[in-house]
Structure 1
Amino acid sequence: MKRRTFLIQTGAVALLGTAAHAQTEDAPKKLPDEFNARIVRMRGAGPNEIHVVARDHALYWTLPKNRAFRYPVAVGRDGLYEPGVFYVGAKKEWPKWKPTPEMIERDPRAYKRYEDGMPGGPGNPLGARAIYLFTEGGADSMLRIHGTNDLSGLGRSVSNGCVRMANSHVTHLYEQVPMHTRVVLHPA
């Protein structure tokens, strides 16, 4: 067994064995069971890829032998979700956040005050970790898979285009995913 496979499978067992613990940093109460990460069967994808299925509000980190971690997520609301194939181009812990010009234009009352950015930390909208999605040509797509403290959006289409996860889930995913990983945002 390869070291990477062993580590992924060991992490899977540890995560499933502590599903209730997975939310302690994000909320004072336990999430409903449907919002816990779990291992599921998944066909049609090779191991070590990320697949976001918008209609299911789920992110899958694929494992060997047709298995995957399934995490509940929030995705972009109507008109802001952008399907396609991307690659992990950067990863950051407690990243700085800056709204895009389009976000400021859509809702200046909410975003104009942050046009110079916000330092990373617990109150930051990108949460504990961010995985930056780049195009095949190497350009930053401005899309992120990131954490959040606001778990009320999980299972819904509420974001400005990014994929949001519970901070504990994105931290787990961040540790597993290497640079240049293929990421597929499936059509809604």
Structure 2
Amino acid sequence: MTRTARPIRRSEHPTGPTEAGLGDVLAEISADADRRTHAAMSPEWNFIAALLNLTREEAVEVLALVHADDLADHLSKSVFVMIRIIVEQRGEQPTPQAVAALARGLGDKLAPLMLSADRIALWVAGVYSLGNPITTWSSARQVVEDAYRRRFALIGTRMTQMADAYAPIPDLEELAGDARRDWYTVRSRLITLTTRARQ
């Protein structure tokens, strides 16, 4: 019995990359590059990068004028708190290695914050290697200025909601008074940081 050889056909399901697939990959690479560029210009990222390059004595001076709630980004704020622990409680220099070691020591305590030691270490390494000029006081000033502006937006929204809900006048006045005192303290820090940034 003679068998006829079957013609070789191209697979209907190619295993190699398709033109559409390559387009998706290139689009994601481009989007990732855009995200990295945006992050590299972030005042908060640059502020953390500056802190990671300071001595303990220099960091103490900066930490006296910047608070954790001045930072909006979750990772930036978390690492800032860790840097404060390293500098103020442990009396050490806030190096990337010190932050990574603290993160490893915290272990499972990071889970409620949706963080892990590995994620923090990778993020810190990325921030530390941004390659931007170290402008500690300018970056700190910008972080606090952004926080100051956010406070106006937050209180404005809250007052609008209360006014629309016909909240008692004394409650509105109390909110405005508390906000003004808060603005004053943040503004005082901002003035000091602006002076230092210009020196």
Q: TM-score, normalised by structure 1?
A: 0.24
From the two aligned structures, give the one with the greater helix fraction. 2
Q: TM-score, normalised by structure 2?
A: 0.23
State the structure with more CA Rg.
2
From the two aligned structures, give the one with the greater strand fraction. 1
